Amino acid sequence: MVQASLIDGRAIAAGLRQRVAEAAARLRQSHHVTAGLAAVLVGDDPASQVYVRSKARACTEAGIASFEHRPPADAGLAAILALVDRLNRDDRVDAILVQLPLPAGVDARQVIAAIDPAKDVDGFHPVNVGRLWRGEPGLVPCTPQGILLLLRSVHQDLAGAEAVVLGRSQIVGRPTAALLLAADCTVTLVHSKTRDAAAVSRRADILVAAAGRPAMVGPDWIRPGATVIDVGINRIALADGRRRLVGDVDFDAVHAIAGAITPVPGGVGPITIACLLRNTLMAACRRRGLPDPVQPAA
């Protein structure tokens, strides 16, 4: 049996990070501007701390300034909004990232809505969501943007492809559907109320799995030869007590039938961080009326 080719997210991300670093250096030399990303981490959630640390490291490697703000878990909405307001007005800050989830009792929607849309590096502000669906330039969420870059490494032209997205969250499923639609795919969103998700998924030339359910997608969900992007990051406990990271796709079984597939880890994760750097640089340029620094757009 022919096995799927592996979509190497690490290699594709390394190429993008290199291009971002070169563009950041050009921005410094030509315009004396160092792009800056501010991360706001409320409380001490261990997984969020790891994410924010790795994003800060990636910024440093790309020549982007990073600023970290860590209000305590009980800081309260008013203090967080005041911090966001300060960052909106700080000219060293081109991009603001509020690490989710926020502690219980803090309304993430209010915090996101307070970010200047021009600095909304995650692309979650309603203005950027609207621009994405209208096909207007804005800041596009990083994971969906990365998913499209991975798909374009396999498919030169996505027009007319049947694309199925498992999951309809604001941060992955919906924006990914918007980008696939903009690329002229025929798009179906599958969610927890979908009747026979496996049968719908079997129609897909392109399947994006973002349900947060370990190994939910088996070979009976796959049209032979389909391209499968596994967004899931699930930590499962093994029999010996150790923990392992798995995606939403049963990798070994699906690998035997798909045309191309992303691994977990090493697929969507690395390209997401590369797109965060790219968005930061893009925000820095757009705020100053300069052309977009890193092509191609997703």
Closest to ligand NAP by CB, 13 vs 285, is 13
Could you say which of 144, 173, 175, 263 contacts ligand NAP (CB under 6 A)?
A: 173
Residues of span 127-156 touching ligand NAP by CB under 6 A: 143
Stretch that binds ligand NAP, among 30-38, 69-77, 193-201, 284-292 (CB under 6 A): 193-201
Residue 193 CA: distances (Å) to CA of 209, 223, 231: 16, 22, 20
User: Which residues form the catalytic set?
Assistant: 55, 99, 122
Could you say which of 26, 57, 191, 235 contacts ligand NAP (CB under 6 A)?
A: 191
Tell me how far, at minimum, the Cβ of 211 lies from ligand NAP, in Å. 4
Gap between the Cα atoms of 170 and 178, Å rounded: 11
Stretch that binds ligand NAP, among 18-26, 59-67, 168-176, 289-297 (CB under 6 A): 168-176
Quickly tell me which residue has 């706001």 as its tokens: 40
Tell me how far, at minimum, the Cβ of 181 lies from ligand NAP, in Å. 17
Tell me how far, at minimum, the Cβ of 194 lies from ligand NAP, in Å. 6
Gap between the Cα atoms of 177 and 163, Å rounded: 8
Query: What spatial distance separates the first Cα and last Cα of the chain, rounded to whole Å?
Result: 33
Sequential DSSP letters for the chain: -PPPEE--HHHHHHHHHHHHHHHHHHHHHHH----EEEEE--S--HHHHHHHHHHHHHHHHHT-EEEEE---TT--HHHHHHHHHHHHH-TT--EEEEPSSPPTTS-HHHHHHHS-GGGBTT--SHHHHHHHHHT-S-PPPHHHHHHHHHHHTT-S--TT-EEEEE---TTTHHHHHHHHHHTT-EEEEE-TT-S-HHHHHTT-SEEEE-S--TT-B-GGG--TT-EEEE---EEEE-TTS-EEEE-SB-HHHHHTT-SEE--SSSSHHHHHHHHHHHHHHHHHHHHTTPPPSSPPP-
Tell me how far, at minimum, the Cβ of 233 lies from ligand NAP, in Å. 4
Closest to ligand NAP by CB, 156 vs 192, is 192
Residues of span 227-266 touching ligand NAP by CB under 6 A: 231-234
Does the protein bind ligand NAP through residue 168 (CB under 6 A)? Answer: yes
Does the protein bind ligand NAP through residue 269 (CB under 6 A)? Answer: yes
Does the protein bind ligand NAP through residue 55 (CB under 6 A)? Answer: no
CB-based closest residue to ligand NAP: 169
Tell me how far, at minimum, the Cβ of 270 lies from ligand NAP, in Å. 8
Could you say which of 121, 179, 197, 217 contacts ligand NAP (CB under 6 A)?
A: 197
Closest to ligand NAP by CB, 73 vs 233, is 233
Tell me how far, at minimum, the Cβ of 210 lies from ligand NAP, in Å. 4
Could you say which of 172, 187, 204, 281 contacts ligand NAP (CB under 6 A)?
A: 172
List residues near ligand NAP by CB under 6 A: 143, 166-169, 171-173, 190-194, 197, 210-213, 216, 231-234, 268-269, 272
